[in-house]
DNA sequence: GGGAAATTGGAGTATCAACTCCAAAATCCG
DNA sequence: CGGATTTTGGAGTTGATACTCCAATTTCCC
């Protein structure tokens, strides 16, 4: 966000990125507080002085991890949601999320949701940062639904903004239940139910 | 669960309960890992030896807190869901949850959901314990929906089990979004949308 | 090539958190 | 009452963790 990377050698940039990636993975798997600087050093293969050369302290590292996960998550969402021309495309969007979760064996849940639950009440700065990320995500969904509505794929009297909130909540809640049950089914069912709601809103007289 | 409380004086029981209550509050507000034994001692007004007299260590304390929050949460749910005779009663159920969240100023989110996100990938025993709690919660909702279905308040071809999963996901996701936004609206919208789905499933021809 | 800047290595410190220990005080029960 | 048991007080120990420091090495740029 701010003008980081003032004078960064390619090698330095690589080390920087390696640290963020390692921190992101560890914080997702075991939580922020349980992830020690030493853990990150080991996972990234760097020495203490390297880590503190690129980040003033753990707080800055957390900020960088949130940015990293936000970019990652929204990129995936954008890729799926920009071509939202039909109900079926929502099904593909659901498949992408279920597949990612399955590859992770349901460990970690949502990279943004885990951070949000972890940090919302401990780190006001992080909370604001994450609230912004969720706003953008919600907006992405809303835009897609609005386009569908304009195209007549969604009932004219539906409220895309509220439906976007509900859809995002279904994703987050589904991911949490999948994480605790180690089973992708809850995510699939939760999202499918919301998709079904859009469907039934549009075609009330389904035989 | 196991036969705790072998020989406990009333005074001892009170101290025990005070420790659990303090630990539960702190772990909800700042997470398990960030809550130190010293924090709990101060909040409960007990000395180190007292705490370790009643609990072998932090792990045992976490187990006790999960049990405590499970009982609390399911009691509230049971109170609202046992009299689930109409769609309107679901609205009252939603109001109860929104009110509790508002009283907390959206801090902590769901007592069970926060613990689940925090512990699922760090503590396998806690994960199983929490998975059981969510199963019972889900079952409570499913029973309510099934009764509604038997009474004709819900479409005969609806699937109460899947709808219960989706409803629980909406609650959890809504609570998370409300927590990160410090605004009860997402919870209300997410649950309302699911209720609307039940409504539209039952009365497809709404003018 | 050569000086400046960026990057890296590794030992060291200060603090904090979980847990221990022993003995004193309160409480129970027969 | 009186001995056994439970409950409590508070200092102390051990290990872990975030962070520091200085010098060596590599890389950049002219």
Q: How far apart are CA A64 and CA A58, in angstroms?
A: 10
Mind listing the pLDDT tens digit for each residue in A138-170?
Answer: 999 999 999 999 999 999 999 999 999 999 999
Q: Are A178 and B175 in contact (CB under 8 A)?
A: no
Q: Point out the residues of chain A with pLDDT beneath 50.
A: 1-5, 206-207
Kindly state whether A53 is in contact with chain B, defined as any CB-CB distance less than 8 angstroms: no
Q: Are A128 and A1 in contact (CB under 8 A)?
A: no
Q: How far apart are CA A179 and CA A200, in angstroms?
A: 29
Q: Angle formed by the axes of helices B160-181 and B124-150, to 10°?
A: 120
Give the global pTM. Answer: 0.93
In our burial notation (b when 16+ CB lie closer than 10 A, e otherwise), range B20-45 reads: bebbbbbbbebbbbbbeeeebbebbe
Q: Strand C closer than 7 Å to the CB of B60?
A: no
DSSP state of A159: -
- Cβ neighbors of A114 (< 8 A, separation 6 or more) are A28, A31, A108, B117
pLDDT class of B188 with cuts at 50, 70, 90: very high
Mind listing the pLDDT tens digit for each residue in B91-148?
Answer: 999 999 999 999 999 999 999 999 999 999 999 999 999 999 999 999 999 999 999 9
Average the pLDDT over each of A50-64, B81-95, B179-193 and give the range with the smallest value: B81-95
Question: Straight-line distance from CA B115 to C1' C28, in Å?
Answer: 38
Number of neighbouring beta carbons within 10 Å of residue B157? 7
Q: Which of B122, B132, B177, B57 is nearest to A177 (CA)?
A: B132
- Cβ neighbors of A142 (< 8 A, separation 6 or more) are A160, A161, A163, A164
Joined tokens for residue B100: 């509790």
Q: Are B140 and B81 in contact (CB under 8 A)?
A: yes
Q: Are A55 and A61 in contact (CB under 8 A)?
A: yes
Q: How far apart are CA A40 and CA A51, in angstroms?
A: 9
CB < 8 Å from A in window 103-142 of B = 107-109, 113-114, 116-118, 120-122, 127, 130-131, 134
Q: Are A135 and B184 in contact (CB under 8 A)?
A: no
Mean pLDDT across chain B: 93
């Amino acid at each position: 966000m701010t003008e980081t990377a003032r004078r960064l050698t390619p090698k330095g940039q690589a080390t920087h990125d390696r640290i963020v990636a390692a921190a992101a993975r560890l914080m997702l798997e075991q939580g922020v507080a349980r992830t020690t600087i030493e853990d990150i050093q080991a996972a990234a293969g760097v020495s203490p002085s390297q880590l503190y050369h690129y980040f003033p302290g753990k707080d800055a590292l957390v900020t960088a991890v949130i940015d990293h996960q936000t970019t990652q998550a929204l990129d995936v969402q954008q890729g799926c949601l920009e071509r939202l021309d039909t109900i079926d495309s929502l099904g593909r969007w659901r498949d992408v999320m279920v597949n990612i979760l399955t590859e992770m064996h349901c460990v970690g849940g949502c990279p943004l949701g885990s951070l949000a639950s972890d940090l919302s009440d401990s780190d006001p700065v992080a909370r604001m940062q994450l609230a912004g990320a969720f706003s953008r995500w919600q907006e992405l969904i809303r835009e897609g639904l609005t386009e569908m509505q304009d195209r007549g794929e969604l009932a004219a009297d539906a409220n895309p903004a509220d439906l976007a909130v509900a859809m995002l909540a279904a994703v987050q809640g589904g991911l949490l239940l999948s994480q605790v049950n180690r089973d992708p089914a809850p995510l699939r069912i939760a999202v499918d139910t919301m998709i079904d709601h859009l469907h039934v809103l549009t075609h009330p007289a389904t035989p």
